[in-house]
Structure 1
Amino acid sequence: MCTVAVSFEPSSPVPILVLAVRDELLMRPWEPPAEHWPRHPGLLGGIDLVAGGTWLAVDPAARRAAFVLNGRGRLAPEHGRRSRGELPLLAAAGQPIPADLRTFDPFYLITADLTGAVMLGWDGDTRTETALPEGYTVIVNSGDDPAEPRAAHLLAALRATPRPDPAVNWGTWPSLAAGEGIDRTDPRALILRHTFGDDLRYGSSSITLLALSPDLVRYDFAPVPDEPGHAPLTRIA
């Protein structure tokens, strides 16, 4: 499971704010955000060293970002299957998403710019496209699902705290993103850790806070520490 919370306030000086947590097999190798893709000059994001894509890409010049989450549904045929990590690169670069999605496993792709955010969904059979409303939306692997415990808890926490001004600081959002002290095995937890029978660990690997405005792009990133607690953010852009 990954989580992306989008705050869209068109009347605000900073219309788009994003709090995002990536979950993955913790042994899967990756590198922190940078300009990793020569074919997409100017794009920033962390690179997945297995498939070469990303789960989150930002084009600071275009004030555009894109995020992909695994979805649920029918998997693509093994032969010819393409990595979902391609999709944020295309979307953030303003390039078209393939019309035929049958070579991709199910996903949710959120693309955000100064005009708002749109979610493209694919369950292996049906393609959907939804404009996110004003206010807060939290997307998890079941989509815009406010009844899911993790999404419900984060949505309530965001609504209960002042919307930050990232030109100054992120307010309480770093504490929210670090997990608020909730046990990492709790269904409400934003920061996860799970151990399977063979000790294969799955959990949250990184945190992103992102702001898009006509005058500001702020992209802060932190790997998730092994032990609960503060996750120091690094400014990427």
Structure 2
Amino acid sequence: MCTVVVGFEPGSAWPVTLLGLRDEQPGRPWDPVGAWWPELGPSVRGLHDREAGGAWLASDDASARAAVVLNRREQFDEPAEGWTSRGVIPLAAVTSGLDAEVVVRTRTFNLVELAADRVRFTSWDGDALRSVDLRPGVHMITHEGPDTVAVPRVSRWAPRFVAAGRPTGEPGGADWDPWLDVLRESATLAPDHDDAIVREDEHDGIVLASLSLTALALRPDRAVALRTARLPEPGHLPATLDWLP
């Protein structure tokens, strides 16, 4: 399951910073950050899922907003018209907003919406759509929601991300090293360890693994800054990251 770390400090030069690990089936193809949805305009960018056409993470440079979706574990019956990919959710969140008629046709999800003055967490558990604004500070978000210490990797590593200090600039700067160092330390664990962040798990016969790392920073007066690195193999984080253009 995906893991996202968010730092939120309203009023600062870079009020939102995010580090996200995307967990997906290893053979599922995707494209790095780009404007893959021309119908939404050139300012909408994201990580493109070639199979379903949506995005795990999307941003709108024109409004300085971003959103990222994480899977949940609840199961319910498939709608008569079939599933709608959860990849439409981040794109809707940064453009037109969530449509309840679309939400009820998706599998369950957690959504994090990011703006300079607000970080909102929304969950869809198959029964109800619930939202809450996150307070300023550093938060670690998984399939269970934000700061859920019952999740072993949150209990172990969230305090370390808090103590490391939130990055205060565009991805790629030295101030991101403390968060990346915590992530590298976590990656010394076996990828199936309960405490691992860089993971490889099997659920219902399907293997999910951490396949990419995304760093995002948001300023209220400019486009969203995004960098993504492919991970060379499931469950492994290299010492030096090869950030894609």
TM-score by length of 2: 0.87
Q: Do the aligned residues in 2 keep the contact of 1:224 with 1:231 (CA within 8 Å)?
A: no
Aligned to 2:154, which of 132, 151, 155?
Answer: 151
Q: Do the aligned residues in 2 keep the contact of 1:166 with 1:218 (CA within 8 Å)?
A: no
Alignment of structure 1 residues 1-237 onto 2, 5 Å: 1-41=1-41, 42-80=43-81, 81-93=83-95, 95-100=96-101, 101-144=103-146, 145-167=148-170, 168-169=173-174, 170-178=176-184, 179-194=186-201, 201-215=207-221, 217-226=224-233, 227-234=236-243
Q: Which moved more, 1:127-136 or 1:164-173?
A: 164-173
Q: Do the aligned residues in 2 keep the contact of 1:109 with 1:121 (CA within 8 Å)?
A: yes
Query: In structure 1, what is the Cα distance between the partners aligned to 2:84 and 2:77?
Result: 9
Deviation at 1:16, TM superposition (A): 0.5
Q: Which moved more, 1:27-36 or 1:212-221?
A: 212-221
Aligned identity (percent) is 32
Q: Do the aligned residues in 2 keep the contact of 1:7 with 1:134 (CA within 8 Å)?
A: yes
3-state SS, counterpart of residue 171 of structure 1: helix
Name the aligned partner's letter for residue 224 of structure 1: L
Q: Do the aligned residues in 1 keep the contact of 2:230 with 2:243 (CA within 8 Å)?
A: no
Q: 1:61 to 1:176 in 2, by over 3 A?
A: farther
3-state SS, counterpart of residue 190 of structure 1: coil
- Structure 1 stretches of 4+ moved >6 Å: none
Deviation at 1:61, TM superposition (A): 2.6
Give structure 1 stretches of 5+ with no counterpart: none
Name the aligned partner's letter for residue 58 of structure 2: A
Name the aligned partner's letter for residue 118 of structure 1: R
Q: 1:177 to 1:208 in 2, by over 3 A?
A: farther
Deviation at 1:13, TM superposition (A): 1.9
Q: Do the aligned residues in 1 keep the contact of 2:11 with 2:117 (CA within 8 Å)?
A: no
Query: In structure 2, what is the Cα distance between the partners aligned to 1:4 and 1:108?
Result: 11
Q: Which moved more, 1:146-155 or 1:70-79?
A: 70-79
Q: 1:231 to 1:43 in 2, by over 3 A?
A: farther
Q: 1:234 to 1:8 in 2, by over 3 A?
A: same
Deviation at 1:215, TM superposition (A): 4.7
Deviations 1:46-102 (A, max 9, x none): 111111001100122311100011113243524322111001011122x12112332
Name the aligned partner's letter for residue 56 of structure 1: L
Query: In structure 1, what is the Cα distance between the partners aligned to 2:160 and 2:7?
Result: 13
Query: In structure 1, what is the Cα distance between the partners aligned to 2:113 and 2:242?
Result: 23
Q: Do the aligned residues in 1 keep the contact of 2:121 with 2:131 (CA within 8 Å)?
A: yes
Deviation at 1:232, TM superposition (A): 1.4
Give structure 2 stretches of 5+ with no counterpart: none
Q: Do the aligned residues in 2 keep the contact of 1:161 with 1:172 (CA within 8 Å)?
A: yes
Higher helix share: 2
Q: Which moved more, 1:126-135 or 1:172-181?
A: 172-181
Deviations 1:160-195 (A, max 9, x none): 212222244313222334444222221111101236
TM-score by length of 1: 0.89
Taking only aligned residues, the RMSD between alpha carbons, in angstroms, comes to 2.2
Q: Do the aligned residues in 1 keep the contact of 2:187 with 2:237 (CA within 8 Å)?
A: no
Query: In structure 1, what is the Cα distance between the partners aligned to 2:183 and 2:38?
Result: 31
Deviation at 1:117, TM superposition (A): 0.8
